[in-house]
Amino acid sequence: MSASADALKRGLERGPTVRMYRQRGLGDCFLLAFPPADEPRYVLVDCGVFFATSGGAARMRKIAADVADVTDNHLHLLVATHEHWDHLSGFQFAQETFDDMTVDEVWVAWTEDRNHPLANELREKRRRTARAVAAAVTHLRGIAAAEAEAVGSVLGFDLGLFDPDEAAALGLGASGTAGQMEWVLAKSPTTRYLRPGGEPIQWRDHGVRFYVLGPPEDRALLERSDPSSVDSEVYEGAAALTAHNAFAVAALHAVEPGALSSDEEALLDASQPFDRDHRIPLDGVEKSEQWDFFRHRYGTTNGKDHGPAWQRIGSAWLTAAGQLALQLNEDTNNTSLALAIELAGSGRVLLFPGDAQVGNQLSWHQHRWPAPDGGGGDDGGEVTCRDLLARTVLYKVGHHGSHNATLRQLGLELMAHPELVAMIPVDREQAKEKDWAMPFAPLEARLEERTAGRILRADDGLPPRPPSMPEADWERFTERVEEDDLWVQYSLPAE
């Protein structure tokens, strides 16, 4: 037995154990092991690293080898929270290792279900947006290289969206995250598309229950990512009149004329500022009576501009693609499968929200679950989100500790358990290079207070004892922590 497997077995002798892998970059990969130690059940939640991470592929292969080693090549459950590169790329980088593993079940969110109408609408929107941003990048490369590079980095590095030629050049095989998710879905003969609410899932015979918190089956909540006020009507209004769709079809028409579907042609027509009777097509303007007027006021002849520059839109409108790409990124985070995992014997809860953001998290409070015999619940015989948060003893901090992935009054402030521990899959140096506040300082400070300093970070591991923490209490915590260059793990009390 390897040293890593020995360490996991020691953890299981103490209680349920969570191993957070250290990618040396931003990413999520968690192995959950449930007792007994001689016949444990293993759950892998995500496996990826940010695309631009130096040495990321080799690191993920080491992580996959460790997962295979300590589980004896057998995962009882594989959970893929959402379609982002930093959550899925390990399955591609280390596909040979994962191909040899047995996976009993795969769980994903309902947003991956090809038979769900709203999931298909969201998938089509994502496809159209990705095409539009890619088209804008192609157009910008010849006239605004800096903008093209900035937008392309979001499209490729954050979302993992590549065209087939680019994917081949990068040696990716599958075309980005879509291919990675397809591999996950095909890995097990038993795949579940989870919807929020309903009965908690009594998992196997190990006294573990899963409460599905999100993502919500509500478009407005899915598209609410920022904690500041958002007008939900913007997302629920007529599709043809939204800025999002108007930009998307305009960008596609500019770069792929004639390639629009009939629906996209209708969107393009409806989003025009003038009725058809008052438009002059660009390819016909030289033959029109108004040609001299346009040429002398807005045109360019032999390299000489006519009229002031502010009168020409040029390519400036295409730079809006950056915001569109960022919004696509946030929307994908909000489709995260969010799970509360209850240990039936003690009622303690492990919270794994993926990268769920504001709308997803707000929706958790809409649900009521029947309280199973012997499980936790409020006085009314129901389990609520408040109840689950109050019993949370391990919080996998969402989206690497970003500002909009942990609610305050309806989130962290409700996590009042005296044994609360936070795990943050973050790499501060990489976040700093990208100018991202991860972890967000005010959030990290409040986590320090709520956990009494019991924060385990992928980059730092076990922190020093806070001055306010009694040595005996700190020792009770640290004796449940083990760390290695490749991982840091924490074992929860069995009772």
132-175 residue pLDDT tens: 766 666 666 665 565 656 666 555 544 555 444 544 554 544 45
- Which amino acid is present at 259? A
Tell me which residue of 158, 175, 157 sits closest to 166, measured CA to CA.
175
Query: Which pLDDT belongs to residue 283?
Result: 56
Q: Rounded distance, CA 139 to CA 316, Å?
A: 11
Give the three-class secondary structure for 370. strand
The average pLDDT across 55-83 equals 96
Query: Which pLDDT belongs to residue 358?
Result: 85
Give the three-class secondary structure for 415. coil
Instruction: Indicate left, alpha or beta for 248 from its phi (over 0: left) and psi (-120 to 50: alpha).
Output: alpha
Query: Which pLDDT belongs to residue 433?
Result: 85
Query: Which pLDDT belongs to residue 241?
Result: 38
Query: Which pLDDT belongs to residue 231?
Result: 36
DSSP 60: H
The average pLDDT across 212-225 equals 86
Query: Which pLDDT belongs to residue 378?
Result: 55
Lowest mean pLDDT among 39-48, 319-328, 465-474: 319-328
Residues in the chain: 495
Q: Give the CA angle between residues 275, 292, 265 to the nearest 5°.
A: 30
For residue 67, count other CB atoms closer than 10 A to its CB.
Answer: 25
157 by Cβ neighbours in 10 Å (0-12 / 13-18 / 19+) ranks as middle
% of the chain beyond a pLDDT of 90: 50
Q: Rounded distance, CA 440 to CA 436, Å?
A: 9
Are 90 and 54 within 8 A, CB to CB? Answer: no
Q: Rounded distance, CA 76 to CA 187, Å?
A: 12
Output the CA–CA distances (angstroms, integers) from residue 369 to 169, 202, 376, 377, 384, in the order listed.
49, 13, 11, 9, 6
Tell me which residue of 249, 252, 246 sits closest to 234, measured CA to CA.
246
Query: Which pLDDT belongs to residue 203?
Result: 78
Query: Which pLDDT belongs to residue 248?
Result: 59
Task: Provide the mean pLDDT of the chain.
Answer: 80
Q: Is the peptide bond before 370 cis (omega within 30 degrees of 0)?
A: no
The average pLDDT across 316-328 equals 56
316 by Cβ neighbours in 10 Å (0-12 / 13-18 / 19+) ranks as exposed
- Checking DSSP bridges between strand 338-343 and strand 349-352, what pairing results, if any? antiparallel
Are 322 and 150 within 8 A, CB to CB? Answer: yes
Q: At residue 98, does pLDDT exceed 80?
A: yes
Lowest mean pLDDT among 229-238, 331-340, 359-368, 484-493: 229-238
In which band, very low, low, confident or very high, does the pLDDT at 201 lie, cut at 50, 70 and 90?
very high
Are 210 and 339 within 8 A, CB to CB? Answer: yes
pLDDT digit string, tens, across residues 39-66: 899 999 999 998 778 899 999 999 999 9
Tell me which residue of 182, 157, 159, 158 sits closest to 170, measured CA to CA.
157
The two structure tokens encoding residue 302: 């032999």
Instruction: Indicate left, alpha or beta for 58 from its phi (over 0: left) and psi (-120 to 50: alpha).
Output: alpha
- Which amino acid is present at 64? A
Q: At residue 296, does pLDDT exceed 60?
A: yes
pTM: 0.79
Dihedral (Cα; 457, 462, 464, 469), 10-degree rounding: 90
**Strands annotated E in 228-320:** 300-301, 304-305
Which comes out higher in pLDDT, residue 81 or 312?
Answer: 81
Are 83 and 181 within 8 A, CB to CB? Answer: yes
Query: Which pLDDT belongs to residue 230?
Result: 39
Query: Which pLDDT belongs to residue 219?
Result: 83
